[in-house]
Structure formats: C-alpha cells, structure tokens
Structure 1
C-alpha cells in the first residue's frame, strides 16, 4: 500500500516540474549566466510562456522568472523580517500592526530595481503588500483563504 501511495504522490507532482533538458537553450544559458552559483535548481512548467525557476544561492531561497527566449523577468529572494529596511519596518508598524507577519521577499525586475513584498495573515485572509525601499506602499492585495486555494 505504501508503494502505491508513493507512486501516486510522485505522479501528482511530476506534472509541475520540468526537466532542465526540456527548457529552451537560451533560457538555460541566461539562467546560468545570471545565477552561476545556483544549487537545488527546480524548473516549473511554463505558464503563459514564463518559466519559473526555484533554487538556492548564497544560502538563500530564490525564485526567478524568465521568458522562453531567455529574457530575465523577475527575481524574488526570501528574507527575514529583521532584514527589511527601517523605513519598511516603520511603515508596517504604522499601517499594518494589526496583522500577523508571514514572510518577506525582495523582488527585482527590469521595471523595478528593488521592492519588498511582505505577506501578512489575518484570520482567514492573506494580505500581500509591496513596499518601495523608502517604505511607500506601492501595491496591496487581499485574498481570502478560499481565493488562495483557487490559484
């Protein structure tokens, strides 16, 4: 019975990961050039022509998005709450002190050099806030637990 459960679990998850060999050559080259020290690399199936790559580099959990032609679209780096700049911490204390901190990431892209995404939880609601390095709220999305499950 355990063997059947194991194979079922493996089949369930095998559809979400893409072998590195299946990724376009331009994408693999662009990834290796941008992240030469990447470890534990996992490629996700492309969605709308965008490849998501999860990996570790410099002891950090990271995610990068690339177009099929190798164009870099975005990089997210998980950080600890203490690593947020003082300006962002102050904005959180002023505007979101009633919410429970869940996680934080730095996000960089060609459009935005660097922003901070902070996720909070409140009851059955997830609040995702994007801050500038100066602590300005750039974006805020609120989703119920039910909406999160549909993604």
Structure 2
C-alpha cells in the first residue's frame, strides 16, 4: 500500500511539473503581436517563446524559417535565418579563412542576422570537437566582431 501511495504522489508531481513547464509564464503583450504583424504580415506557422527579457517569434515566410526577437514593449530587435555556405558573402568567408579558427575548426551552421538600422551580421557556429564549440559574429565586410563559447 505504501508503494502505491508513493507512486501516486510521484505521478502527480510529474504531471504538475510537466504542466507548469509547458505553460507560458506570462501573457503575450498586444504591443508585441501588433509589432510582429506590422513587420511580417504574411508570416505563417507563428510560434511564440517567452524569453523573460522579451519574446521570440518563430515563423515561416516565403518558404524560409525565421526567428524574430522583440522586447517586452514590442520593439523589434533582430531577425535571423539559417543560410547555406554558398549564400555567405565572399568577404565573410575570407574573414573566417584569415581567422585563427580556419585550420582546426569547421563551420556547422551559418545564420544571417538582420538588425535595427538596416545592419546585417553573420553568425557562424563552428566546432572543433563535440565539446569545443563557438559562435563567431562577422559584419558584412568580414570583420570578426566576437567569438563566444557555446554549448
């Protein structure tokens, strides 16, 4: 009988934790959804994620998958999408080839970031091993802006 009680309590706890994890922590502000609709009126398959400091919309537009970040007040911060290596500007490829990472690190994924004030940056996810991974951020001229460790 004790085992049944313990199993029942464990099952209730698991359902409570699962339900809480899947619930959105706060309501999506109207300013955020209005700003999104204004910027991307034809977006499809929109899903929202609460990031505490703002909200992220994951969506499809013209058969491309995007992720757009907005502040809690509805100000657009950035939009990114994964691109193929062939789409990477020659200057950014050259910047990577001239960096200290070119010989031992391989490019795993490439993202194009659209930022405010019509700025563009490119984020390269690179890997040396299963444990050693970095994000490199380049401007369109191929200048390395930052290199950060990632998981």
- TM-score relative to the length of structure 1: 0.78
Cα RMSD for the two superposed structures: 2.4
Q: State the shift of 1:18 in Å.
A: 7.4
Q: State the shift of 1:91 in Å.
A: 1.6
1:133 to 123, 127, 140: 140
- TM-score relative to the length of structure 2: 0.78
Deviation string, structure 1 residues 26-72 (Cα, Å, up to 9, x no partner) = 11111011011211111012412x11111111221211111122111
CA distance in 1: counterparts of 2:134 and 2:118, whole angstroms: 21
1:56-135 alignment, distance < 5 Å: 56-95=60-99, 96-97=101-102, 98-110=104-116, 113-123=119-129, 124-135=131-142
Number of aligned positions between the proteins = 135
Q: State the shift of 1:112 in Å.
A: 6.6
Unmatched tracts of structure 2, length 5 or more: 1-10
- Work out which of the two has the higher radius of gyration on C-alpha atoms and give 1 or 2: 2
Residues 71 and 92 of structure 1, relative CA distance in 2, 3 Å threshold: same
Contact 1:115 1:130 survives alignment (8 Å): yes
Unmatched tracts of structure 1, length 5 or more: none
CA distance in 2: counterparts of 1:60 and 1:133, whole angstroms: 21
Q: State the shift of 1:137 in Å.
A: 0.4
